[in-house]
Amino acid sequence: MSVGAWFDVVAARRRVSQWQAAGVLAPDRAAQARAVLGADAPPPWRGFLDALALWLGAALLGAGVIFFIAANWAQLGKFARLGGVQALLVLAVVAAVRLAHRRVAREAALFLAVLLLGALLALLGQTYQTGADTWQLFALWAALALPWTIAARSAVLWLTWIALVDVALALWFDLHPWRVFGGDDAVSIIGAINFAFLLAWKIAARRLPELEGRVAPRVLAAFAVAPLTFGAAAAVIERNGFGVAVLPWLLATLLLLTPGYRADRRDVAVLAMAALGVIVVVTALLARLLLRQNGDWAGSLLLLVFAVGGQSAAFAVWLRRLAREERA
């Protein structure tokens, strides 16, 4: 049972209890209502903790290998460094093949292999001084890890791969600022790419049960909304005009908040992120208009405080109503 299904069980139990307290549900019907809503399923504490320990163990093992080599770089020769990491990489892949019938274990083994792959590429660059830029390391890392990510069909591996792509893009834009739009819109471009990943994830989740759930889309929404909001707010404040960076933020926000999107993919957490983005950008616009054209800084700041409070209250009421409708 996934974490999302676990929360659904808890919500179903709470709903039955509320119906009983309100007198809507007769005591002799409570067991039948719990069975229909799936509230009798046992909380998967053991499975959740086992999966969490497995993923943390894989992540810590990969980090431990990297830190061990970094701390003992002078004492280890080329063969020990490269051969050791390659041997561990092969063992991780073999373990993933052998554990093909155990999905979580297979995914954790492939996740460890992806981490060791990055360590191996970094070792090659440091040992032989290839002269490659840092963004090339992450781009090659993402390219080589893509087949394993596709084979695993794991939300964790896909999020890791998307994070690698984001880091590669960020490092590339740091060396090659894209000023086609009259300013550095790299942050907004990365946010727009992540928003495209979010839409692709939603489409793929309809056919791949492994990608279902709410945690991964929420992480992707954060990857998209945060840079888009930052880029739009910076464009509003720093540039002479709104800038093209506002356009992808506006399109993403409108799509997330439209009734058509919410009817099929309602997620209050994602809607809250979009609402926060609206508050930030609107407040940045008001700050630009008030603080640059009004000499009364105290009065302008007071107006901004009231504007933030009013927007926050309005969105809070709206989100609470949606949350109640979702629980009903």
Q: Is residue 13 part of a domain?
A: no
Q: How many CB atoms lie within 10 A of CB 225?
A: 26
Segment 182-208 shows an average pLDDT of 81
Nearest C-alpha neighbor of 61 from the set 82, 96, 85, 81: 85
Tens of pLDDT along 9-68? 667 777 777 777 777 667 666 666 666 666 555 555 666 777 788 888 888 988 888 888
Q: What is the mean pLDDT of residues 78-94?
A: 84
Q: For residue 241, what are the CA distances in angstroms to 191, 226, 244, 299?
A: 20, 21, 9, 24
Residue 133 tokens, joined: 């830029």
pTM of the model: 0.77
264-301 residue pLDDT tens: 556 788 888 888 989 998 898 888 887 776 666 777 78
Q: Is the pLDDT confidence value at 240 over 80?
A: no
Contact of 213 with 155, CB cutoff 8 Å? yes
Domain range for 199: 177-328
In a domain, 288, yes or no: yes
The answer to the question of residue 186 being in a domain is: yes
Enter the tokens of residue 50: 């086992």
Alpha helices, H only, 72-154: 78, 84-98, 103-128, 134-152
Position 66 in a domain: no
The answer to whether residue 235 is domain-embedded is yes
pLDDT value at 228 more than 80 = yes
**Is 80 a domain residue?**
no
A 10 A CB-CB count for 8 gives 16
Computed from CA positions of residues 237, 243, 245, 249, in that sequence, does the dihedral angle turn out positive or negative?
positive
Residue 142 lies in a domain: no
Residue 4 lies in a domain: no
What is the per-residue pLDDT across 105-155, written as a single tens digit (0 to 9) for each? 888 889 999 999 988 888 887 777 766 678 888 999 999 999 989 888 888
Handedness of CA 180, 183, 187, 193 (dihedral sign): negative
pLDDT, mean over the chain: 79
Burial letters for 252-276: b for 16+ Cβ neighbours within 10 Å, e otherwise?
A: bbeebbeeebeeebebbebbbbbbb
Residues in the chain: 328
Name the domain count of the chain: 1
Q: Tell me if 85 sits within 8 A of 65, measured CB to CB.
A: yes
